[in-house]
Amino acid sequence: MITSSPGPHPVILGGRALPLVSPARVYLCGITPYDVTHLGHAATFVWADAATSIVRLTGAETVVCRNVTDIDDVLTRAAAERDSAYDEFAATQEYLFDRDMAALRVRRPTHNPRARHFVDHVIQLAAALLETGHGYQRDGQVYFRGFPAIPGGAPALDEEHGELTEGPERAEPYDVAVWRASGPDDPGWPSPWGRGRPGWHAECAAIAMSVLGSTVDLVVGGADLAFPHHAYQAALVEAATGVRPFSRAQLSIGAVEIGGEKMAKSTGNLILVSDLLKEHSPAAVRLLLLDRDWREAWSYRPEDLRTAAQRLERLYSAGGRQTEPSGAADAVRSALLRELDVPAALDIAEEADGEAARLVIHTLALA
């Protein structure tokens, strides 16, 4: 007789259960190492860290790939302004980012690949797209035909999306460069189409395929990356492999704003992680970032760090209780697994037996 057992509860995202066979494969879109780490970056990487930890509550192990975009025009320009080689400059910035992440107790990813070590993979991806008719070549560049994978009605790509508008014309406004011809001041590698460098979406597509395979369970990144970056990453992989979908679920972490404006270097309204940690504990900063709906954009206000620190104190007090387990730990686990509902888990844990609070403190690395 076949009987069903309750088994571990799956993660539920967007109202759909995501049953996992261990290890769960997580692709996390990492940094372009050309500038300081601000609270907006921290929100994405702390949430990715918490999400993978919550995924492990199902009993599945996780394999996390967090790339480093160390071939990018913005990085090349920043390095040139400092009279530095782009790869040396990137390595320094990457070190500073890693230091900030360690200070925030973000666990190291399983794989931390740098784009410049995957140039051959991008060339193979470009060749595959040409072979299957999903790409075309023009003057040393290889373009991916965005349509119909990127449906009509999507915004046409422009400079705002970090897309080429100069140089050889794209056939259609949805097409993106997989391989770009390099000028004398750009980093460049030999290819069948001449000296060039990878396009950004193609870097993340090739790295994901090489490190994790044709499909992943979860793609995580800032909300501003959902389109076009993650849409094109998925479309490129699916075109090359024929396997759909590339990702079973996606976490797009809401932007951090100040006074209604997105925190960004271009607006100059940056709150640096290193500055916050001079005055606040890593646990308080993590709680500030996690005690909310991960999808929503939100505004940073300094006084909210004080509120987070008070919430943390109540949680530690609850964690010290040595009362009989009441089942609240199960309720905490369920809240975390259902849409990563951290605020609900914290509310339960504060009022319950010590076991529930200890579970949430451990899972979210709040001690």
- Site membership for Zn ion, residue 365 (CB under 5 A): no
Q: Which residue lies nearer to Zn ion by CB, 29 or 356?
A: 29
Residues contacting 305, CB < 8 A, separation 6+: 276, 280, 284, 285, 288
> In this structure, are residues 48 and 251 in contact, taking their beta carbons and an 8 Å threshold?
yes
Q: Which residue lies nearer to Zn ion by CB, 113 or 282?
A: 113
Would you call 74 exposed, middle or buried from its count of C-beta atoms within 10 A (0-12, 13-18, 19+)?
middle
> In this structure, are residues 68 and 113 in contact, taking their beta carbons and an 8 Å threshold?
yes
At residue 162, the 3 state secondary structure works out as coil
The mark string for 28-67 relative to Zn ion (x by CB under 5 A, - otherwise) is -x--------------------------------------
Shortest distance (Å) from residue 119 CB to Zn ion: 16
Q: By CB under 5 A, which span of 102-110, 117-125, 204-212, 283-291 interacts with Zn ion?
A: 204-212
Q: Which residue lies nearer to Zn ion by CB, 90 or 204?
A: 204
* Nearest C-alpha neighbor of 249 from the set 7, 25, 9, 56: 25
Would you call 237 exposed, middle or buried from its count of C-beta atoms within 10 A (0-12, 13-18, 19+)?
buried
> In this structure, are residues 104 and 273 in contact, taking their beta carbons and an 8 Å threshold?
yes
Q: Which residue lies nearer to Zn ion by CB, 73 or 339?
A: 73
Rounded to 5°, the CA angle 41-245-12 comes to 65
- Site membership for Zn ion, residue 101 (CB under 5 A): no
Shortest distance (Å) from residue 28 CB to Zn ion: 8
Q: Which residue lies nearer to Zn ion by CB, 204 or 332?
A: 204
At residue 68, the 3 state secondary structure works out as strand
DSSP code, position 148: T
Shortest distance (Å) from residue 201 CB to Zn ion: 7
- Site membership for Zn ion, residue 328 (CB under 5 A): no
Q: Which residue lies nearer to Zn ion by CB, 25 or 286?
A: 25
Token digits of residue 18? 């995501």
Q: By CB under 5 A, which span of 25-33, 82-90, 258-266, 335-343 interacts with Zn ion?
A: 25-33
Q: Which residue lies nearer to Zn ion by CB, 135 or 222?
A: 222
Q: By CB under 5 A, which span of 33-41, 152-160, 198-206, 242-250 interacts with Zn ion?
A: 198-206
Could you tell me how many residues of this chain bind Zn ion (CB under 5 A)?
A: 2
- Site membership for Zn ion, residue 204 (CB under 5 A): yes
Binding site for Zn ion (CB under 5 A): 29, 204
